[in-house]
Structure 1
């Protein structure tokens, strides 16, 4: 029947739920964290006419030719012995990434998502350009390091400032992100010239939507903010939020399908604002976004859908 390979860390409640569901379905699941390579695991593969064949052995071993699907969930960084010199560790990590991910990435199986597609889709400027091209409604946006350009875009009102990337690792290994903020032209100074900045028009919101896409299935949840902070960015105040499943308008679903296809994504967590007039405005797609809390809060079958996708089921459309 084949094995399902899940690449993630040990502390991953989302993966735990899917592994449990797959176990109930009688599937063989191998869980592997790239942080265990090369110090606590071994790779031994040979090239054949059909690709790479052999064993990846950690706490459990998997024969790569027997893998039928791979979930690129949330693996950690490769780790080498602390006693090695810094340059040796950097070289070893580079070789480990090229070797292990190169071998795994060549497997002709279902990937959710392939790491190359995941990495490319994480660039927010690309997401916005593709979303506009496929017909989704996107906010007026500029990316600039020119203070004058920023002030001209902002004009007399306020716009939203957002980080472009996925944050950086801070003290203790905790990821730190730039907060979403409202900015007026008189707040823009020459410091803008220090790097690239994303400014977007402020979109009036009746509520926001997190749309989780798994294959051709779409699960939309309305997120109603209960505080001023959450109305600007719902991630800033989870305790104030209320959730309910909603339907996806057909034209939005069509645009999302085209977006996912062009980005090469099987899974995505998409964020929209729905205006008081009913417009769905696209903000971003996270190719590896969190979703398990929505399954619990809104009572939608995301765990079952992900388990079915990893089993190789064809995915019927579901709003």
Structure 2
């Protein structure tokens, strides 16, 4: 039997739901946490004319040549022995990443998503430029470390300030993000010169849409927010949300297909605002965004769609 490999940690409810669905369908599923490598896992492969063959052993062993698809879900960082010197641990992690991910990434199977594509698409400036080229409506935006440039862009009306990256791991292992904020020109000072900043025009929203894309299938869900904080950033107040499955304009659907193709993504969680006059304004695509809560709260068959995709064998 061919196997489906899911790369994620042990505490992942989204993966749990998809694994349960795949097992019901009779699939062989191997769950593997990269955080186990190399301390609690072994890689033993050899190069042949068909690529790398051999075994990856974690909680159970899997032959690489038996794998038909891989879900790059929520893998943890590689871990090395804690009593090694810091420089040795850093080198070992670098070698582990290059070795294990290099071997797995060379497999000509379906990836959701391939880690190299995932990493490249995470750059927000890349997303915005590609989205604009693909015909999607993108807010007026600047990325700058020049206070004068920022004040000139802002002008008399407040604009939205957003983080460019996915945050950092702070004290206690908790991920910290830059909050979305409204910023006026008089709030910009010389501190802007300390790093790069993203400023975008403020978009008048009737509601927002989280669009989950799995292959050729698209699942748009409207998010109607019920608080002032959620109106600016819906992630700040999930309790105020009301969800509704909605249709999508054909021109937006075409633009999304082009965007996903150009970024090389099989899966994406895309965020849009829909204006009172019906324009769909693109904000971002998260190549590994969360979606299980929409399956539960909005009744969208995302678990089944992900299982369908992982059962496919086309790269």
- Please give the secondary structure, in 1, of the residue aligned with 2:305: helix
Aligned to 1:251: 251
Corresponding residue of 1:268: 268
Q: Are positions 1:188 and 2:188 aligned together?
A: yes
Aligned partners of 2:269 and 2:288 also within 8 Å: yes
Query: Does structure 1 residue 129 correspond to structure 2 residue 129?
Result: yes
1:309 is paired with a residue whose SS is helix
The answer to whether the 8 A contact 2:45-2:54 is kept is yes
Look up the SS of the partner of 1:239 in the other structure. Answer: helix
Q: Aligned residue for 1:108?
A: 108
Aligned length: 314
Aligned partner of 1:76 in structure 2 is 76
* Structure 1 Cα separation of the partners of residues 159 and 67 of structure 2: 48
What are the residue-to-residue correspondences of 1:145-184 with 2, within 5 Å? 145-184=145-184
Q: Residues 58, 313 of structure 1: CA spacing in aligned structure 2 closer, same or farther, 3 A cutoff?
A: closer
> 1:55-112: per-residue Cα shift (whole Å, max 9, x none)?
0001011000000000000000000010000000000000000000000000000000
Compared with structure 1, are the counterparts of its residues 313 and 242 closer, same or farther at alpha carbon in structure 2 (3 Å cutoff)?
farther
1:248 deviates by 1.1
- Is the Cα contact below 8 Å between 2:4 and 2:27 reproduced in 1? yes
Deviations 1:243-266, CA, capped at 9 Å, x for gaps: 010011110000000000000000
Alpha-carbon distance, 1:122 to partner: 0.1
Aligned equivalents of 2:285 and 2:10: distance in 1? Answer: 25
Per-residue CA deviations over 1:278-314 (Å, capped at 9, x if unaligned) read 0000000000000000000100100000000000078
Distance 1:313 1:42 in 2: 26
Which residue number in structure 1 is paired with residue 204 of structure 2?
A: 204
Q: Distance in 1 between matches of 2:172 and 2:55?
A: 34
The RMSD of aligned alpha carbons is: 0.7
Is it true that 1:229 corresponds to 2:223 in the alignment?
no
Measured against aligned partners, the alpha-carbon deviations of 1:172-198 in whole angstroms (never above 9, x if no partner) come to 111000000000000000000000000
1:90 match: 90
Q: Which runs of 5+ in 2 are unaligned?
A: none
Residue 311 (str. 1) matches residue 299 (str. 2): no
Unpaired runs of 5+ in structure 1? Answer: 315-319
Q: How many angstroms apart in 2 are the aligned matches of 1:253 and 1:313?
A: 25
State the secondary structure of the residue aligned to 2:102: helix
